[in-house]
A and B are shown apart, each in its own frame.
Chain A
Amino acid sequence: METPLFVKIERYKELTDVLDQIDAKIKEATTQLEKLKRVKESEDAQIAAWEGNLRDLKERSHELHENLFQ
Chain B
Amino acid sequence: MSYFVRIKDARSVRRRILESSKEMLYALKGHYQMLELRDQKRETAEALRSTLSELGELAAKLQSLLPAESLKEIEQYLPKKRKQKSSKKESKKAGEEKNSAEKDKSKPSETPMSEMERLEKALANIEERLSKL
Contact = CB atoms under 8 A, between A and B. Distances in A.
B62 A18 contact: yes
A53 B23 contact: yes
Contacts of A29: 48, 51-52, 55
Interface residues of A, number: 39
B78 A3 contact: yes
Interface residues of B, number: 40
Give the secondary structure class of B's interface: helix
B13 A67 contact: yes
Contacts of A68: 5, 7, 13
A18 B7 contact: no
Nearest to A20: B58
A69 B5 contact: yes
Given A5-B78, A22-B59, A57-B24, A39 B44 contact: yes
Contacts of A7: 67, 74
Given A18-B61, A22-B62, A46-B37, A60 B20 contact: yes
Contacts of A53: 23-24, 26-27, 30
Interface of A: 3, 5, 7-11, 14-15, 18-19, 21-22, 25-26, 28-29, 32-33, 35-36, 39-40, 42-43, 46, 49-50, 53-54, 56-57, 60-61, 63-64, 67-69
Q: Which are the 10 A-B pairs with shortest beta-carbon distances?
A: A32-B48, A53-B27, A15-B65, A29-B51, A60-B20, A39-B41, A25-B55, A60-B16, A36-B44, A22-B58
